[in-house]
Chains A and B, each alone.
Chain A
Amino acid sequence: GENVEQHPSTLSVQEGDSAVIKCTYSDSASNYFPWYKQELGKRPQLIIDIRSNVGEKKDQRIAVTLNKTAKHFSLHITETQPEDSAVYFCAASKGTSYGKLTFGQGTILTVHP
């Protein structure tokens, strides 16, 4: 089955710096890659996603890139703010409209004011 590896497990940055989280996946049939943000005790919230037919997607300070050949994708957060502090999970799934998500292990991002 699919296996998703996520690095780093913890990331500490100063406010205003950029943060990058990387994930690799094993199943070349995976075609949908969402990112979730989870604050302590809260639900995972979908923040951005990318489909296998595009290489990059951006939404304000957040961007995601996908390299299908290398089977890896990354989350980029620019101009980080303390409220960006949370656990971030990458995930992968296959199937055009449904299918289970396989999650990475998570990255604890801490943004210091």
Chain B
Amino acid sequence: NAGVMQNPRHLVRRRGQEARLRCSPMKGHSHVYWYRQLPEEGLKFMVYLQKENIIDESGMPKERFSAEFPKEGPSILRIQQVVRGDSAAYFCASSNPGDYNEQFFGPGTRLTVL
């Protein structure tokens, strides 16, 4: 039973480029969350999605960041025109509505902006 999968695991971008991070939830899970972890800091909520719907994007910057969870395929977090301050670990978590919000995390994508 595969866990939450994320790719790529490491991503290097130059300032101004776009970053696309992908997340496949655990089998049977329909809720996906994205969190950002800056170096030596805690995890900060960014966005919560269900299939084809953004439920809560209160933690996501209004500009340059977007997220989707299409009917088919993984959830994608997209960062346009990256800046050095976007360098962080981005974790995806998934949950099953029947499991009282137990969220299981993927291995993360470590984004480095040069």
Contact = CB atoms under 8 A, between A and B. Distances in A.
Interface of A: 1, 32, 34, 36, 42-46, 49, 51, 89, 93, 95-106
Contacts of A51: 100
B1 interface: no
B104 to A, nearest CB: 7
A36 B42 CA distance: 11
Contacts of A46: 102-105
In this complex, the interface size class of chain B, counting residues with CB under 8 Å from chain A, is 20 to 34
Given A43-B91, A44-B91, A46-B104, A101 B45 contact: yes
19 contacts: A32-B100, A34-B103, A36-B105, A42-B107, A89-B42, A97-B98, A98-B31, A98-B101, A99-B48, A100-B48, A100-B56, A100-B58, A100-B59, A101-B35, A103-B35, A103-B42, A103-B43, A103-B44, A105-B41
B87 interface: no
B95 interface: yes
Contacts of B108: 43
